[in-house]
Amino acid sequence: MAVGITALTSCADAPTQRFNGASPAFDPIAYFEGPTHAWGVLESRDGTPRSRFRADLFGRRDAGALVLTQDFTFEDGRSQQRIWRFHRVGAHRYDATADGVIGVATGYVHGNAFRWEYTLQLKPGNPLTRVRMHHWMYLAGDGTTLINRVTIRKFGLQVGGTTEYFQRGAAVMPSIAAPP
């Protein structure tokens, strides 16, 4: 049984292994501790931009975990908050839980790349609104900029995506007023 579990873990980790040695090395817990800001675009399945957003994040350590509060603002004025609780569970593996996430989110890091996956419940109580989130995050050479490409799937089919940029630190983010 232990051999089977190890083999499954190795397979899940394999895509990020090609980034071994890429620098700067990315540590998700260290990166997201303190203030971070993000901005991005929600896209349709064919990549057509649908909506812009920004997010203010703040991470703090708590009993061996990182508690990350993520406050989203969308260009139509909607807002949303998600609170993550990250744990490092192996040399390259991270697990997390959050409101709206079904089960445990799992990610693997090697070098400057982080592959992150989880199931998100968009509307509480309605299992038909579950989507699978597949992130690829890449830490840029400056060590403060993170590029995030997300594919969103439902019933195994791609239904959308996001392109997002993160910046560590307390820099003020521009507003995202609706286009004229």
Residue 124 is part of a domain; what is its CATH number?
Answer: 2.40.128.20
Q: Which residues pair with 32 in a beta bridge?
A: none
Q: Is residue 115 a part of any domain in this protein?
A: yes
Q: Is residue 126 a part of any domain in this protein?
A: yes
Q: Is residue 177 a part of any domain in this protein?
A: no
Digit-by-digit pLDDT tens for the chain (180 residues) are 444 444 444 456 656 676 677 679 999 999 999 999 999 999 999 999 999 999 999 999 999 899 999 999 999 999 999 999 999 999 999 999 999 999 999 999 999 999 999 999 988 888 888 999 999 999 999 999 999 999 999 999 999 999 999 999 865 555 555 544
Q: Is residue 113 a part of any domain in this protein?
A: yes
pLDDT of residue 17: 75
Q: Could you tell me the residue range of the domain that residue 40 belongs to?
A: 2-168
Residues 111, 94: Cα–Cα separation, whole Å: 14
- The residue whose two tokens read 């286009």 is 179
pLDDT of residue 1: 44
Residues 26, 125: Cα–Cα separation, whole Å: 35
pLDDT of residue 87: 96
Encoded tokens for 159:
């239904």
Q: Is residue 80 a part of any domain in this protein?
A: yes
Q: Is residue 175 a part of any domain in this protein?
A: no
Q: Is residue 15 a part of any domain in this protein?
A: yes
Helices vs strands, H then E, count in the chain: 2, 10
Query: Which SS3 state, helix, strand or coil, does residue 127 take?
Result: helix
Closest CA to 138 of 54, 15, 33: 15
Q: Which residues pair with 72 in a beta bridge?
A: 55, 80
Encoded tokens for 62:
């708590």
The number of folded domains in the chain is 1
Q: Are 153 and 160 in contact (CB under 8 A)?
A: no
